[in-house]
A and B are shown apart, each in its own frame.
Chain A
């Protein structure tokens, strides 16, 4: 997080601008980097300089300055807009605030009030980027459909909440199916679409207001509702949501689509652990290689990736686990047993596995996985991440 506070001062009189700029720089507790410009160039300069504080000088005819404040509030909502004026009557203060100013400072500047205003900006910056330990972000992904990504993501969230007394948020990035809410029998009032449509207003208060609360205490940011039509949610919005959730919650679990689209890549990059689900059939194993290449390209180290074999066992199992691990050099961190009956029953009821089939092998395996991810000893260090290509069948993956 940068130390300096980039500040832009806008006004009609160049001499006055220079004087006030110098005053603000002298008063500021953080190193204030103050540049100046005319009202006409205001919005452009604010965007170009990426100013955190934009101070607008109101003169005797405040109309143009107030109009600029309104534009800044609309087009540069991330900036804190200060209105500065020699006229500090209540009417002028109210006009400036109604236009969109976040602070009003009378001229000549009062050092204490100015310092307080600047300190608020740095305090808000710290709120958005706290120095406390960032949240765990567990991104659950499978290169093919049907592996049980949502089942795992949902039940991991519930188990993490139950096990660790931590605050947990579940983020549904599978915008085409948006199944997380269905799995939890939730009817969310808001979804990721609300975030996108009001992105300029996004902060922690806004985001918390969009989350649905499950009875377990897990919060959910649901995907767009069915029938929402073609969904286009910018990756920038997904990244912003992930960054914010990490400051708000202890554990963020992300349900991803099987496509390696922008939102999936954003979830990979943000992850403290990537939980890569596959079964031991050829399509999955091929997809696995591609996934590891993508993760490598994103700079996600192999030790951050946990390979989880899903739906293991039963007549429809793929190749034996031993063969995969020995022949392909697959390093499997965890195995989830096949238990479609339990998974379907849970889905049917919109309930946790732990509710419909407590103590079932699948429930126990997911609970164990959650405890391990929270810092237990269930996933030995040497079994984390990495795929080592070797052997005859390794030729399938020859580069």
Chain B
């Protein structure tokens, strides 16, 4: 079990999949301030291409995107051996229980409904990154969070 003398989330590579350029930019700025290394993908197809060629420690994923939606991206992640365990946070304007359940059933680790604060998102990213060091049974039983 590793200790966390060093920042457990320091330098982690985060893929931000969000087709709204301003929100993507704001999230990217926020993550950079936290010492993380975000990369933006402005659509689902771009996200899948990056996931297949680059290495990420966590994915922040919008659901509603015009080309390939977040559900398809998540399915790709969970069905690809090399990346199937990467933590995923869903971001969505939808907050119906069915959407929440669908996202979590497909394997999302966390779910945030828009609008969300940058501080809340960063907090959740840090928790998920810190939890990587825990045995699987001790990680949080995830639920959606607005």
Chain A interface residues toward B at CB < 8 A: 77, 88-91, 93-94, 97-98, 100, 102, 104, 106, 110, 113, 116, 120, 123-124, 127, 189-190, 194, 198, 201-210, 219
Q: How long is the Cα–Cα vector from A198 to B146 in the complex, in angstroms?
A: 10
Cα(A208)–Cα(B8), bound, Å: 29
With a cutoff of 8 Å between Cβ atoms, the chain A residues found around residue B127 in the complex are 94, 97-98
Nearest CB to that of B2 among chain A residues?
A90
Minimum C-beta distance from B10 to chain A (A)? 8
Q: Which residues from B are CB-within-8-Å of A207? A: 115
Chain B residues near A208: list those with CB within 8 A.
22-23, 26, 115
Which residues of B are in contact with A by a Cβ distance under 8 Å?
1-8, 22-23, 26-27, 29-30, 33-35, 93, 114-123, 126-127, 130-131, 133-134, 138, 140
Given contacts A189-B93, A219-B22, 8 further A-B contacts (CB under 8 A): A90-B131, A98-B127, A104-B8, A201-B116, A201-B119, A201-B120, A205-B27, A208-B23
- Given the complex, which residues of B lie within 8 Å of A89, measured CB to CB? 1, 3-4
Inter-chain contact total with CB atoms closer than 8 Å: 98
Q: How many angstroms from the CA of A269 to the CA of B3 in the assembled complex?
A: 51
**Chain A proximity of B118: nearest CB distance (Å):** 4
Partner of A90, one of B6, B114, B130: B130
Q: Contact at A127–B93, with CB atoms within 8 Å? A: no
Residues of B with C-beta under 8 A to A205: 23, 26-27, 30, 115-118, 121
Please give, as numbers and ranges, the residues of chain A lying within 8 Å of B93 by CB-CB distance: 189
| Bound Cα distance A61, B67 (Å) | 51
Among A90, A127, A204, point to the contact of B134 (Cβ < 8 A). A90
Q: With a CB–CB cut-off of 8 A, which chain B residues contact A94? A: 127, 130-131, 134, 140
- CB-defined A-B contacts under 8 Å, sample of 6: A90-B134, A94-B130, A98-B127, A127-B33, A190-B115, A208-B22
B4 touches A206 (CB 8 A): no
